Amino acid sequence: MFSLGSNECGQLGIGDDTLPDDWTFEPQKVNLTLIKQVSCGGDFSICVTDRGDVYSFGNNENGTLGLDGLDEYVSSPKKIEILKDVDFIECGGDYAICKTLNNEIYAWGSNEYHQFGFFDEVSGEEKNIVLGYVSPVKCLNWPDNIVNIKCGASHTLILTSNQEVYYSGVLTLENK
């Protein structure tokens, strides 16, 4: 896998002190193999391997990396240990949502605009859904048969197998 562009927050996943500047126009090798999917947020990146493992790197300021307790920036891929058998992942501006092969949905990062939507509970405990989460939490009460999730800066769209579309969050800051 290769990455290029801005690396100001480590979002290229190529390690510290690799570039003389904080950006590159030349593809740089990322030390990960057998990647089946990549998704990028505002200044972080997340990869899913063919075995369903998840790795993240970049800005962890709002818990966007799902790596509770780690530094503000992570410049090399780190495994999110809590996640297993991930089917796909989608990143928004400063949050991420994934679906497992068992049809479980996990979310983490900022939920300032209720982008996680559709649930009053996470992981069996009542939570203030406006707050974000620094590690993945299981989302309850989501629609069945989700086949795709797309995230924007402050909103989420969900597509089910029977072509229903669900929406949460706000499209623009002017709508809040």
Whether residue 116 is contained in a domain is answered as yes
How many of the other CB atoms lie within 10 Å of CB of 155? 20
Is 151 domain-assigned? no
pLDDT per position as a tens digit, 32-72: 999 999 999 999 999 999 999 999 999 998 899 999 876 78
Do residues 49 and 2 lie in contact, with contact meaning Cβ atoms separated by under 8 Å?
Answer: no
Report if residue 45 sits inside a domain.
Answer: yes
Count: domains in the chain = 1
Quick check: is 135 in a domain?
A: yes
The verdict on residue 171 lying in a domain is no
The tens digit of pLDDT for each residue in 64-103 reads: 999 987 678 999 999 999 999 999 999 999 999 999 999 9
Residue range(s) defining the domain that contains residue 135: 2-144
Residue 49 lies in a domain: yes
Cα gap 75→87, rounded to integer Å: 24
Q: Which residues pair with 168 in a beta bridge?
A: 156
Range ranked top by mean pLDDT from 6-10, 23-27, 49-53, 115-119: 49-53
* Residue 17 within a domain: yes
Q: Please report, for the domain that includes residue 61, its CATH number.
A: 2.130.10.30
pLDDT for position 125? 46
- pTM value? 0.88
pLDDT at 126 > cutoff 50: no
